[in-house]
Amino acid sequence: MQLSDLIKNLKSYEKKQDIALVKRAYAFAEKAHQGQTRVSGEPYIEHPLNVAYILSDLKLDDVTITAALLHDVVEDTEYSLKDITNEFGKEIANLVDGMTKIKTLKSLSREDYHAETIRKVILASVKDIRIILIKLADRLHNMRTIQVFREEKRQRIARDVLEIYAPIAHKLGIGSIKWELEDLAFEQLHPDIYAEIKNKIQQSQKEREKDILKLISILEEQLKGAKIHCEMSGRSKHIYSIY
């Protein structure tokens, strides 16, 4: 992933994005995380860059994208929230601060707090919905790169995703993130069943979607002949949904 990929995506849906702001945030984050690497060994900056790209796929604004690039700076580097405020303003600093506060929920004991309770705490404590969106993108990228962890940790993270974050994505109506989170978590928790279902789905996602459009066309024609007026839509089910 390159910064140019993110910029290209941003320009594709909003010509008035503050590209200079995004570039400045990337440079700031790259400097702050310099020398840090992920468990995989790749430079740490790859993570916030990918999180920002996921949000650009959702067509979010430049302020949210900027906060995504900076979301780990306060927690993982020597820079403070005051530094973020001075450099990027209060709005972006508040988004970064919100992300940092969500992470404190990691300390909640599973015995003391049910997953539903944690979901409610997250949703109730966050004042700006953009913080939740950044967190979902953060979790999605972590799931995409989860193979670097030992099995026990992978399964713990996957359970959190399935019980906490995928339901939040569902509640917010972000189907694309919900479905991918569920499939990635399901693959970790039940790899054999996941592989079995995947092997049985021989067609690609695009091919299945074409079949759905063909079916809709046939049904609409029949309904029209019966003088029944309607709007019809459909989608192919993902692996966890099939399960």
Q: Which residues are catalytic?
A: 75-76
Dihedral (C-alpha) 165, 122, 127, 68: value to the nearest 10 degrees?
A: -40
User: Counting Cβ atoms within 10 Å, is residue 100 exposed (0-12), middle (13-18) or buried (19+)?
Assistant: middle
| Residue among 75, 76, 78, 83 nearest 25 (CA) | 83
Dihedral (C-alpha) 120, 121, 124, 125: value to the nearest 10 degrees?
A: -160
Q: Which residue is listed with tokens 């949210």?
A: 64
Instruction: For residues 165 and 170, give the distance between their C-alpha atoms in angstroms, rounded to a whole number.
Output: 9
